[in-house]
Amino acid sequence: MSDTSHDRLLIIDFGSQVTQLIARRLRELNVYCEIHPYQNVTDAFLAEFAPKAVIFSGGPASVFDEGAPQPPASVFGIGVPILGICYGQQVMMHMLGGKVEQGYGTAEFGRAYVTPSDDRIDLLKGWFLEAREQVWMSHGDHVSQIAPGFEVYGTSPNAPFAITADLDRNFFAVQFHPEVHHTPNGKTLYENFVKLAGFTGDWTMGAYREEAIRKIREQVGDAKVICGLSGGVDSSVAAVLIHEAIGDQLTCVFVDHGLLRQNEADEVVTMFRDHYNMPLVHADESDLFLGELEGQSDPETKRKIIGKLFIDVFQKHANEVGGAKFLAQGTLYPDVIESVSFSGGPSVTIKSHHNVGGLPEKMGLKLVEPLRELFKDEVRALGRELGLPDSFIGRHPFPGPGLAIRCPGDITRDKLDILRKADAVYIDQIRKHGLYDEIWQAFVAILPVRTVGVMGDFRTYDYACALRAVTSVDGMTADYYPFSHEFLGETATRIINEVKGINRVTYDITSKPPGTIEWE
Ligand code: XMP
């Protein structure tokens, strides 16, 4: 079931890696859209959906493939503007009487420049800021003859039909991908397209919230739902949204594994139980986790122990909730794309990431994942819409295994206490200097070495620690943050003076790759 209170745009998906980015550009323009795989778009579907405009996505196929994906021919007869992108352009030309050729020698992958032949049409208004505009191409086949009724409005060296349109029918077709970052002015094209299709931009994060709530109610009915709450942005936003949808049918389970940061458990429990009145199980399992981790120093062993215990504990508390049929998770769109391998082949495990994977099948639970279509910044916007405080929404990511992977070597309660204190001073410094929001993630790692120092007239023999701070867009790659020497000096002095147990501070200047963000 779809939202019917807004003008709707239909994106027919032919399998491009970047289809979701089209939706994202449209959402930035406050246009309601839905992505549907081409197989599901039948004549009946089109009639029921009643789109105000249609976009054909790109895709890996060739129109020459047997059973090549196609939209239903009726889409060309419903009288609404259509924009075809890359494969979408080719299939449009193919179906409307143009020609597509296989691209030996004319394939284009990467940056290209389109020159306008006529930029007065509505689609291109304000688009060509330069004599030629940078675009992102990624195609093997190309259109060699346009369909009757179409004219050319832009060319690139390898795509003589880079931009074409049939102005009578409001059909537009481009060979490049306007939705990607590497087509810097691509948003203008979408803006022009939705404007000429008559969209008023009435769809907002508030509307997304309403729609998501309706869908959650529809999916869950009167069943019980459990949600593993970590205190991170994603699971917090998911929990608040689901609670708004189904109230006390939701129970959150917050597992305190003894590896949290200073005051973290209090902050999370106060916020969700007291402020949001959510049923919340605070499972203090620190003895169990720290007991099992005793004497373990191998990073993968630590991760595996924590992952397994987490599932056991979660299952125990979930059973106590009784009869839950659904498990809620704050899965984001990037998690969804990354889990689909490009090659289909197995990839090397760098680190076993811990989550509650494995649970749904084991417990016969179905998943509720209301953030699956969103990017991190959109989740933050939704969090604001739901009234979560900024201090919570802007929090740096914190890994499931917590401080265990910031404590190379043996994990002891002593070391964890020292680490918590040092981390709190470091984050305080970053906040005081107004740098918190510029940094993707910052933390202290306590090192398994002790060094000699002198304080006052006394010899010290204490732990060394490393400060880490990185900038990143998605955590996949990262650069170290270029703090000033003054900042680093002041922070080191504060940590050594305020945290008993540390007498040496270093700054980690490794990027990812070759390093990773966490130390283990
Ligand atoms: P790495 O260390 O792999 O970290 O460069 C990339 C991002 O992922 C976080 N991280 C984790 N998050 N469970 C999580 O939920 C994990 O096991 C885990 N390991 C790393 C890390 O903090 C960074 O944001």
Task: Give pLDDT tens digits along the chain (520 positions).
Answer: 445 567 999 999 998 888 888 988 998 899 989 889 999 999 999 999 999 999 999 998 899 888 899 999 999 999 999 999 999 999 999 999 999 988 656 677 788 899 988 778 999 998 887 778 889 888 778 888 999 999 999 998 888 899 999 999 999 999 999 998 889 889 999 999 999 999 999 888 998 899 999 999 999 999 999 999 988 899 999 999 999 999 999 999 999 999 999 999 999 999 998 888 999 999 999 999 999 999 999 999 999 999 899 888 988 888 888 889 999 999 887 666 554 433 233 345 666 665 555 677 777 889 999 998 787 888 999 999 999 998 889 999 899 899 999 999 999 999 999 999 999 999 999 999 999 999 999 999 999 999 999 998 999 999 999 999 999 877 778 899 999 999 999 999 999 999 999 999 999 999 988 999 999 9
Q: How far is the centre of ligand 1, averaged over its atoms, from the C-alpha of 352 (Å)? A: 9
Where are the extended beta strands (E) located within 399-457? 441-455
Residue labelled with tokens 């000429």: 196
Report the pLDDT value the prediction gives residue 129, as an integer from 0 to 100: 76
Bridge partners (DSSP) listed for residue 445: 466
Q: What are the angstrom distances between the C-alpha of 37 and each of 40, 55, 81, 91, 145?
A: 6, 12, 19, 15, 27
Residue-wise burial string across 154-168, b where 16 or more C-beta atoms lie within 10 A, e elsewhere: bbbebbbbbbbbbee
Q: Ligand 1 within 6 A of 501 CB?
A: no
Give, for ligand 1, the residue of 332, 395, 444, 518 to mutate: max count of ligand atoms closer than 8 Å to Cβ. 518
Confirm or reject: Cβ of 273 under 6 Å from ligand 1: no
In DSSP notation, 365-399 reads: PEEE-TTTT--HHHHHHHHHHTT--HHHHTPPP--
Q: Report the nearest atom of ligand 1 relative to the CA of 512.
A: 5
Question: Beta 142-145 vs 159-166: how paired, if at all?
Answer: unpaired
Contacts of 492 (CB under 8 A, 6+ apart): 505
Q: Which residues are catalytic?
A: 86, 177, 179
Query: Of how many residues is the chain composed?
Result: 520
Pocket test for ligand 1, best of 229, 236, 351, 471 (most atoms within 8 A of CB): 351
Residues 233 and 273: their CA atoms lie apart, in Å, by 16
Task: Name the residue among 232, 227, 255, 230 with its Cα closest to residue 242.
Answer: 227
Report residue 342 as tokens: 């490009």
Cβ 408 under 6 angstroms from ligand 1? no
Q: Kindly give the distance from the C-alpha atom of residue 293 to the centroid of ligand 1, in angstroms, as a whole number.
A: 19
Residue located nearest, by CA, to atom 6 of ligand 1: 475
Please identify, by atom number, the ligand 1 atom nearest to the C-alpha of residue 396: 24
Which residue, 63, 64, 47, is CA-closest to 14? Answer: 63
The alpha carbon of 258 and the centre of ligand 1 are apart by a number of angstroms equal to 18
* Cβ–ligand 1 contact at 317 (below 6 Å): no
**DSSP E strands: which ranges in 147-270?**
151-156, 159-166, 171-174, 224-228, 250-256
Residue 93: φ, ψ to 5° = -65, -45
Model pLDDT, residue 336: 64
Distance 519 CA to ligand 1 centre (A): 10
Cα 182 to middle of ligand 1, angstroms:
27
Which DSSP state fits 355?
S
User: Atom 18 (ligand 1): residue with closest C-alpha?
Assistant: 399
pTM for the predicted model, two decimal places: 0.74
Contact present, 215 and 226 (Cβ < 8 Å): no
Burial (Cβ within 10 Å: 0-12, 13-18, ≥19) of residue 472: middle
For residue 270, the 8-state DSSP code is I
Neighbours of 253 (CB within 10 A): 22
Question: How far does residue 468's CA lie from ligand 1's centre (Å)?
Answer: 14
209 lines ligand 1 (CB under 6 A): no
